[in-house]
Amino acid sequence: MKPIRYFLKVLRYLFSHEFLQLAKDPHFRLKFGIYTRHNGDRIPYFLESRAFPLTRAFISGRPILESIQAKRVLELMENSAFAKSQKGTLYGREASRVKRLIDARSRGEDSFVLLLNPSSDGALEIDDGATRACVLALTGGTSARAVVSPWV
């Protein structure tokens, strides 16, 4: 019974007004795939962008650079003594994890992908990858690879 419900949920989404509007967006192309979140959850996506503008993505309804994640990344980037020790948490997140993302970006080894979900007002919220988006934005990046999932 679950596979049928799942299939119907996907089908309902693919014929929804929300999906059709996003499918018309020139930044997206139709592509089916499975996104694996940092905690191991696997989520289907149906739209992908190779260069989604970071200015169009939001974190909890706020622009990327106004988020708590941006404060965390900026503080680590500016406070090299704390960043070198990599001990403890910073605004509720392990400093070492954020530092690894910053270091990957500085070495050019970042292959960041953002998981976006449409909000009720039509904006695209970052569901997974908010810290990565902040690292990109604070280091001069203007776009990122992104996928859109109908649910979280």
Give 77's Cβ-side CA count (13 Å radius).
19
Query: pLDDT confidence of 17, banded at 50, 70, 90?
Result: confident
45: tokens are: 């996506």
Q: Which amino acid is at 28?
A: F
**Position 77 pLDDT exceeds 70:** yes
Q: What is the pLDDT of residue 87?
A: 66
Strand 113-118 with 143-148, pairing = parallel
- Strand-pairing partners, residue 42, are 36
Q: Can you tell me whether residue 34 is helix, strand or coil?
A: strand
Domain spans in the chain, listed from the N-terminal domain onward:
2-148
From residue 92, give the alpha-carbon distance in Å to each of 4, 15, 39, 118, 143. 39, 39, 16, 25, 26
C-alpha to C-alpha distance for 92 and 56, rounded to whole angstroms? 25
C-alpha to C-alpha distance for 76 and 91, rounded to whole angstroms? 11
pLDDT in tens, 80-131: 555 555 567 777 777 888 888 888 888 888 888 999 998 877 789 999 999 9
Strand 42-53 with 143-148, pairing = antiparallel
